[in-house]
Structure 1
Amino acid sequence: MLDQWYNGVVTRIVQETHNTRRFWIRIQGKEVFDFKAGQFVTLDLPIHEQKNKRWRSYSIASPPDGTNEIELVIVLLEGGAGTTYLFNEIKEGSTLVLKGPLGHFVLPENLDKELMFICTGTGIAPFRAMAHYINSHNIPHAPIHLIYGCRQQCDLLYADEMRKLEEEMPGFRYLPTLSREDNQWTGRKGYVHLIYEELVGLNKQPAHFFLCGWKNMIDEAKQRILAMGYDRHAIHQELYG
């Protein structure tokens, strides 16, 4: 059944930042689109004759909620055929062809070790789904740290929502960090790596490191986490681009 394709109707589009949009898609022919927080869907876009050059995968940014509607958050890539099509051609009411849910980037069975959610840009999508899922189901968990790297404050996705979740959800910390100087910003500056290294500190508590974003961030994070003495099985990754 993995290769079953569905039609999805775009019910809503919101421009979230200057180059990022949120797309809500209702899957036709299914009363409930059942997936695990962290999984993705693959879209088949009419941008090439070869099917594997038409496929674009995006993490589901919404938690499983018993409905047939999902949310994707997508950044416009310069020269990217897929995102150019989505931004220029897709309107509310448009139909997209998609398959899923796919992927093994999901929460561990037991959340008894600290969770380090480390991401850049739209890589926050699966962690938003996971955090809301844990919160809404009151799942017991060790501390969760959402370490989110962006260039500037205007690039942060779901910032107000994550701050609200931090207030509501015991043991959840939202740690945005900006790599470009921003005089209005009183939060953390620099790159994500310094934050998880600082959090782990000297006691190296048991932890799961979930990495989602661009390849260079993930490669560097894996090297640093292994260098701190963690096992490679503690590292889970979802690569973008």
Structure 2
Amino acid sequence: MALQPWRKGIVTRITEETYNTRRYWIQIPELPSFDFTPGQFITFDLPIDEKPARRLRSYSIASWPDGTNTIELVIVLLEGGAGTTYLFNEIKEGAELTLRGPQGVFTLPQSIDTDLMLICTGTGIAPFRSMMHYIQEHQVSHKDIYLIFGTRTQKDLLYFDEIKELASSVEGFHYIPTLSREQWDGCCGYVHPIYEDIIKQKQNGSTELPLMNFMLCGWKVMIDEAKERIQRLGYTKKEIHQELYG
């Protein structure tokens, strides 16, 4: 795919999602429609360093293609992070940003002919939100889809009610949020035992692995451990796809 040119984006709306997470709506006025594939990202060139390579920050698109020229991003403030500190402190509604995109190949398979395990932490939920709305709106045929979203507490569960609603309306879509620092009526702990248990349940005593593809999005520690554990179960690297944050 040819690299897209740098364009002007205008921030049309900002909302506080959690104590350290914001949603940004960005319009690209020179395009009548910003076309992208769910799972792709955009890159900002931010005025935070003299060296061009140190100014670039990439964020997955949290919205889904709707025929407009506005996209949504969900961004967490990183302690000591120059990029997010600039976005949180300097960028207000009406501000202009320089961006390029869409980019990336972390996208749904052309045909979802195996079960799909979507595993994420934090703002890693963004591409999966985009994918699931796309599947719902276009009635994409699929097998079972599991979205395991790991975070610390209930207040960190981005898009919680919205994705619960998706799970109730999209057949075969299973939403499994899990909290590592708080007890509640849902799953507690880390994401890894959850997908391992699902696979064991699907095996139902058989030694044959269920056909499954894995998509991992989040911080490096989670992704590295997930890749190791999934391969230990018997899956190959070809069945594991990742989008690394940070």
Aligned twin of 2:54: 53
The equivalences for 1:162-181 within 5 A come to 162-181=163-182
Matched, 1:193 2:198: no
Measured after TM superposition, the shift of residue 28 of structure 1 is: 2.0
Q: Which amino acid counterpart does residue 197 of structure 2 have in structure 1?
A: E
Separation in 2 of the partners of 1:123 and 1:3?
23
Identity of aligned residues (%): 62
TM-score (structure 2 length as normaliser): 0.96
Measured after TM superposition, the shift of residue 181 of structure 1 is: 2.6
Matched, 1:116 2:117: yes
Measured after TM superposition, the shift of residue 231 of structure 1 is: 1.3
SS at 2:142's partner residue? coil
Measured after TM superposition, the shift of residue 3 of structure 1 is: 4.5
Matched, 1:236 2:241: yes
The equivalences for 1:1-241 within 5 A come to 1-182=2-183, 185-201=184-200, 203=203, 204-241=209-246
Separation in 1 of the partners of 2:85 and 2:168?
37
Separation in 2 of the partners of 1:135 and 1:194?
28
Going from structure 1 to structure 2, the CA distance change for 1:3 and 1:169 (only over 3 Å counts) comes to: closer
RMSD of the TM alignment (CA)? 0.8
Q: Which amino acid counterpart does residue 115 of structure 2 have in structure 1?
A: E
Q: After superposition, what is the alpha-carbon deviation per residue over 1:54-96, rounded to whole angstroms, capped at 9, x for unaligned?
A: 0000000001111111000000000100000000011110011
SS at 1:233's partner residue? helix
SS at 2:58's partner residue? strand
SS at 2:99's partner residue? strand
Separation in 2 of the partners of 1:28 and 1:208?
37
Q: After superposition, what is the alpha-carbon deviation per residue over 1:2-48, rounded to whole angstroms, capped at 9, x for unaligned?
A: 14001000011010000000000001210111110000000010000
Q: Which amino acid counterpart does residue 237 of structure 2 have in structure 1?
A: R
Q: Is the 8 A contact 2:40 2:102 kept in 1?
A: yes
Q: How many residues align?
A: 239
Structure 1's consecutive aligned runs of 4 or more residues displaced over 2 angstroms after TM superposition are none
Aligned twin of 2:206: none
* Structure 1 stretches lacking a partner, 5+ long: none
Q: Which amino acid counterpart does residue 164 of structure 1 have in structure 2?
A: E
Separation in 1 of the partners of 2:217 and 2:4?
25
TM-score (structure 1 length as normaliser): 0.98
* Structure 2 stretches lacking a partner, 5+ long: 204-208
Separation in 1 of the partners of 2:113 and 2:65?
22
Separation in 1 of the partners of 2:173 and 2:23?
24
